[in-house]
Chains A and B, each alone.
Chain A
Amino acid sequence: MSSKLYEVFIRSKAGLNHRHVGSLHASDEKMALMNARDVYTRRQEGVSIWVVEAKYITASNPAQEHQWFDPAEDKVYRHPTFYPLNKEVENM
């Protein structure tokens, strides 16, 4: 059977992001949505579901994790705590 792999994302309640919860097999989007409802939301875990065929996801390469993400490490000036606040100014 030509089943495809879908990744499943669920919004647990209004106001929150959809979050990846796992994957499943289905023959098309409609079936993927129905299966996702049965597999991942049996206890009201969600109010909205996204399914996307796994092959359409482009991911960063874990081997390049350091090249990609370490440059942000030494840019402490991007954080408010880098700037000492004069005592006289209480809140900013």
Chain B
Amino acid sequence: MYSQGLTDAKGSEEPQELLDAFQKKIDAEIKIEPRDWMPEAYRKTLIRQMSQHAHSEIVGQLPEGNWITRAPTLKRKMILLAKVQDEAGHGLYIYSATETLGVSREQLTTELLTGQAKYSSIFNYPTTSWADIGAIGWLVDGAAIMNQVPLCRASYGPYARSMVRICKEESFHQRQGYEIMTVLARGSEAQKIMAQKALNRFWWPSLMMFGPSDKDSKHSEQSMKWKIKRFSNDDLRQKFIDATVPQAEHLGLTIPDPELKWNDDKQGYDHGEINWDEFMNVIKGHGPCNHQRMQARIKAHEEGAWVRDAVEVYQANQQKIKEEAA
């Protein structure tokens, strides 16, 4: 029965009893592990979701990497380096979890570099001042945390475990960003303006990180059933807004949304309409930095070729030495 399921998974027909047993496991909050039977659609959806997530961690290094050499103090530089290094680590955790679904790292890399795979729209915005690094840590990592905390309970074991690791590291990211903002907001008039401008630039793109509005979100229902998504896009966005507005007030900064106001009935904030045209535009590759980001990734990959070659030669030589000694 097991091997039959495997064969069928590659074709179109999957035995109903296996599908039912699978869903029953998920409903009972039993994790799915790499070698367990799973519907092909579940595997494919996970590969897409997880690889997009991994790519986002990797591309997400670029906007912040932009400020490593120009961080205002040695302390800030060390913190930023550690943060960006963490993001590389996050990419690796998720890539390795994705590989357990039977897709190779090489294929994932190729999909990113050829533009077949997507990554989060937020990383296609430029970082034009030091305050943007503060805004990114506070808002972008803050939004990422909102997304990732529920994923620690995702039904796929390796994914959930990588999220647990990641979430532990993310709160440092958010706090260091908020601290940058705090220092600027309490600084000179010019610094305060810098902080406000960074908030203005990153507020709306951060809200877009949660994806399209629920009424336009095409993958949601099945993903919820499979428990690889626990809350809807709009619910997570609302949580983020409710958590963030008081933090902005504490800094004495203004959220750039004139329609933002507290709604006592829903015990949350109402907010203005998101510019979905801008969102779609960035997703389709026409954001301010899409081209630049892809070029940077391709360049890094190509310029790293000699390292991969050198490793290969080294390995062959080591093998030869071993054989000669034997």
Contacts and interface: CB of A to CB of B under 8 A. Distances in A.
Contacts of A42: 82, 85-86, 89
Contacts of B158: 22
Interface stretch (A24-32, A69-77, A79-87): A24-32
Given A22-B93, A39-B92, A31 B37 contact: no
Given A59-B35, A62-B33, A62-B35, A22 B162 contact: yes
A23 B89 contact: no
B130 to A, nearest CB: 25
Nearest to A43: B169
Interface of B: 1-2, 33, 35-37, 82, 85-86, 89, 92-93, 96-97, 99-100, 105, 158, 161-162, 165, 169, 308-309, 311-312, 314-315, 318
Interface in A47-64: 59, 61-63
Contact of A2 (B99, B100, B169, B315): B315
Nearest to A31: B311
Contact of A23 (B96, B309, B311, B312): B96
B100 to A, nearest CB: 8
Contact of A5 (B1, B99, B161, B314): B99
A25 B315 CA distance: 14
Contacts of B82: 42
12 contacts: A1-B308, A1-B312, A5-B99, A22-B97, A22-B161, A23-B100, A27-B311, A28-B315, A39-B92, A59-B35, A61-B2, A61-B35
Contacts of B36: 62
Q: Which 9 interchain pairs have the tightest Cβ spacing?
A: A63-B2, A1-B308, A23-B96, A27-B315, A27-B311, A62-B35, A62-B36, A22-B96, A39-B92
Contacts, number: 48
Contacts of A62: 33, 35-37
Given A22-B158, A25-B105, 10 more contacts: A3-B105, A23-B96, A27-B314, A28-B318, A31-B311, A39-B92, A39-B93, A43-B169, A61-B2, A62-B36
Contacts of B315: 2, 27-28
Contact of A27 (B1, B33, B97, B312): B312
How big is chain A's contact interface, by range? 20 to 34
A24 B35 contact: no
Nearest to A7: B96
Contacts of A39: 89, 92-93
Nearest to B93: A22
A77 B148 CA distance: 44
A31 B97 CA distance: 20
Nearest to A6: B96
Contacts of B89: 38-39, 42
B31 to A, nearest CB: 12
Contacts of A23: 96, 99-100
Nearest to A65: B36
A3 B109 CA distance: 14
A63 B161 CA distance: 22
A28 B35 CA distance: 26
A65 to B, nearest CB: 9
B92 A24 contact: yes
Contacts of B92: 24, 39
A19 to B, nearest CB: 11
Contacts of A27: 311-312, 314-315
A52 to B, nearest CB: 14
B30 to A, nearest CB: 11
